[in-house]
Amino acid sequence: METAAIQLKNLTKTFGSVVANDKVSLEIRHGEILALLGENGSGKTTLMNMLSGIYYPDGGEIYVNGKEVIIDSPSDAFDLGIGMIHQHFKLVDVLTAAENMVLGLKEKGRLNTKVIGEKMRTICEQYGFNIDPDKKIYDMSVSEKQTVEIVKMLYRGADILILDEPTAVLTPQETEKLFAVLRNMRADGKAVVIITHKLTEVMELSDRVSVLRKGVHVGDLITAETNPQELTNLMVGRAVTLNIERTKCENPVKRLEIRNLSCVNDDGVSVLDNINFDAFGGEVLGIAGISGCGQKELLEGIAGLQKVSGSIIFYPVDGSEPQNINGNSPMDIIKRGISLSFVPEDRLGMGLIGNMDLADNMMLRSYNKGKSPFADRKTPAELAEKVVDELEVVTPGINVPVRNLSGGNVQKILVGREIASQPTVLMSAYAVRGLDINTSYTIYNLMNEQKNRGAAVIYVGEDLDVLVELCDRILVLCGGKVSGIVDGRTTTKEEVGLLMTSLGGAKEAEKQ
């Protein structure tokens, strides 16, 4: 057998006390597409970052074409022919595509964008790309930027290409195009690694799969000889049959009525287009869609954090007059006595403050209560104790900065605080992202508890299996539009998936 392009032996990386990769050994081969599969937080990106020179391993060895190497910086990685396309593109906005190509290259001679453009064109023609070398990055769409990234790696002569979740930001058509390009590269003898947690992609594209779980390499499989069920089992650690207890909806009451909601973002792009739906107390309304299809803007729009047009009518529990809360700031909403809780996607960037302790984080929602200029610190501390106790948060105490807790415990703190106010409407975005299975179940149960208590729960999720098991109804977003609302009890994963990828699917679904 020919020597592997890259061989990793016992690679280990720790951050403080967190072990991100524990003695990982695997192989990457030429002329092959390898899928690196794992849940969020399983250490896939960290592992590949050690190959691309972003992180330096704490232990273990890396072999490239059979020789042990040390990769201390991205430039070492380029010298070895390793190119990585990061999830957050590494492009300089104010420069053109051509200028981005040659950043950091040790080529001689003066900067001649014409020559660079020529070389780019050759690469584009070979693999079927299309980019304008003189276009500034800030004028480009997401998929154009990704193309620039890939061309950049090829320009640098990479023959080992690593892509970190490349499809997360792409439309289905763009994804297809990308896959075609990657297959071209494989045919060309290049080694391709695609980091993903999506089983469909693994099955469609890869030749081999390596699975990571909690930083540990748990298996290598030939794609043709495996199936999604087996991969899921490996990924999550035990044979799981999702079994979320879904209670019947007891006399649902309308709590939220969204009409003609539209949103144009700062770049002038329409991200939400005429959204209409109702949310009922005693029901979990799921929201599905490819990431970046307007989920964030929808929830933030309702919470008063994003400027939107249209109406957001709130129906109070006491039966008083319904109120339109669009245009209200979060403080206005609180002041109007509306109990709206929100578990945002960015936990430590929006929902919590990493550098503050548990008690101070509890204060975020309640600090402004009362007339006194002094903040009440006792009640939040008690609440923190209560949340730690009831949700079994693992922490040395309530005076520890939240950033020192693990991802699951951070989320418990956030969700615990949000449900403590007995909300009428509870919104959550990707509430289980990056969490282990057990914590995920805790979160599902909490959502269900709120539903049974009579709250209107809005659950934005990415895992379709969970959505169809947990939700009473599922609203599917596609490109900022509602492509359909389906009954969670009767729908299938496939139906939702179809709605996610095309508005045409919506018409299909309506006919049935």
Partner 1 sequence: MTYENVKKEPLVRIAKRPELSKGKATLVRLSSILVALLIGGLLILVLGYNPIAVYADIIKGSLLTGTALKSTVKIAVPLLGAALAIAPAFKMKFWNCGAEGQITVGAIVSTYFALYHVDNLPSPVLFIVAFAAAAVVGGLWGLIPAFFKARWGTNETLFTLMLNYIAIGFVKYLRIGPWMDKGQMFPKVPMFDKAARLPEVFGVHIGWIIVLALVIFIYVYMTRTKHGYEIAVVGESVSTARYSGMNVGKVIMRTMFLSGAIAGIVGWMMVCGTNYTLSDTTANGYGFTAIVVAWLSKLNPFTMVGISAFLAILQKGSNTIQTNFGIPASASEVLTGLILLCMLGSEFFINYRFVFRKKTVGGDD
Partner 2 sequence: MDTFLNFVVAAVLAATPLLFGTLGEILTEKSGHLNLGVEGMMFMGGVAGLAGTYYYEKAVGEPDKLVAAVIGVVCAFLCAMLGALIYSFLTITLRANQNVTGLALTTFGTGFGNFFGEIMGNAAGGYVSVGTVIKAVFDEGIPVLQDIPIIGKLLFSYNFLVYLALAIALVLSYFLTKTRKGLNLRAVGESPATADAAGIPVSTYKYLATCIGGGICGLGGLYIVMNSANGTGGVWVHNSISGYGWLAVAIVIFATWSPLKSLICSLVIGALSVLPYYYPITFIPSAIYEIFPYLATVAVLIMIIFRKKKNNLPPASLGLAYFREER
Catalog residues that contact partner 2 under the rule CB under 8 A: 15, 52, 54-56, 73-75, 77-78, 84, 86, 90-95, 99-100, 102-105, 107, 110-111, 136, 138, 152
- State the nearest-atom distance from the C-beta of 88 to partner 1, in Å: 17
Q: Could you say which of partner 2, partner 1, none residue 55 binds, taking C-beta under 5 to 8 angstroms by partner kind?
A: partner 2
Span from 9-17, 216-224, 453-461, 473-481 in contact with partner 1 (CB under 8 A): 9-17
- State the nearest-atom distance from the C-beta of 462 to partner 2, in Å: 22
- State the nearest-atom distance from the C-beta of 55 to partner 2, in Å: 6
| β-pair partners for 429 | 460
- State the nearest-atom distance from the C-beta of 112 to partner 1, in Å: 25
- State the nearest-atom distance from the C-beta of 350 to partner 2, in Å: 17
Distance CA 285, CA 168 (A): 23
- Residue 73-92 contact track with partner 1, rule CB under 8 A, x = bound: ---x--xxx-----------
Q: 358 or 471, CB closer to partner 1?
A: 358
User: Which tokens hold the place of 400?
Assistant: 């520890």
DSSP string across 164-225: ESTTTT--HHHHHHHHHHHHHHHHTT-EEEEEE--HHHHHHH-SEEEEEETTEEEEEEEGGG
Q: Could you say which of partner 2, partner 1, none residue 84 binds, taking C-beta under 5 to 8 angstroms by partner kind?
A: partner 2
- State the nearest-atom distance from the C-beta of 126 to partner 1, in Å: 19
Interface with partner 1, residue 350, by CB under 8 A: yes
**Cβ neighbour number for residue 81 with a 10 Å cutoff:** 19
Q: Where are the beta strands (DSSP E) in 16-66?
A: 18-28, 32-38, 59-64
**HEC-encoded secondary structure of 415-480:** HHHHHHCCCCEEEEECCCCCCCHHHHHHHHHHHHHHHHHCCEEEEECCCHHHHHHHCCEEEEEECC
Span from 275-283, 315-323, 364-372, 473-481 in contact with partner 1 (CB under 8 A): 364-372
Write out the binding residues for partner 1, residues 412-431 only, by CB under 8 A: none
With H, G, I as helix, E, B as strand and everything else as coil, classify residue 132. coil
Interface with partner 1, residue 138, by CB under 8 A: no
Interface with partner 1, residue 363, by CB under 8 A: yes
Q: Are 478 and 484 in contact (CB under 8 A)?
A: no
Q: 253 or 348, CB closer to partner 2?
A: 348
Distance CA 192, CA 27 (A): 12
Distance CA 269, CA 263 (A): 9
Tell me phi and psi for residue 203, to 5 degrees: -65, -40
Residue type present at position 462: E
Q: Are 354 and 402 in contact (CB under 8 A)?
A: yes
Interface with partner 1, residue 397, by CB under 8 A: no
Q: 55 or 129, CB closer to partner 2?
A: 55
DSSP for residue 298:
H
Pick one of 145, 197, 255, 365: the residue that binds partner 1 (CB under 8 A).
365
End-to-end CA distance of the chain: 53
Distance CA 89, CA 109 (A): 27
Q: Could you say which of partner 2, partner 1, none residue 142 binds, taking C-beta under 5 to 8 angstroms by partner kind?
A: none
Q: Could you say which of partner 2, partner 1, none residue 324 binds, taking C-beta under 5 to 8 angstroms by partner kind?
A: none
Pick one of 18, 353, 437, 503: the residue that binds partner 1 (CB under 8 A).
353
Pick one of 180, 222, 331, 394: the residue that binds partner 1 (CB under 8 A).
331
| β-pair partners for 393 | none
Kind plus residue range of the DSSP H or E element containing 74: helix 74-79
Q: Could you say which of partner 1, partner 2, none residue 67 binds, taking C-beta under 5 to 8 angstroms by partner kind?
A: partner 1
List residues near partner 1 by CB under 8 A.
15-17, 56, 64-65, 67-70, 72, 76, 79-81, 157, 159, 303, 305, 329-331, 333-334, 342, 344, 346, 349-356, 360, 363-365, 367-368, 373-375, 377
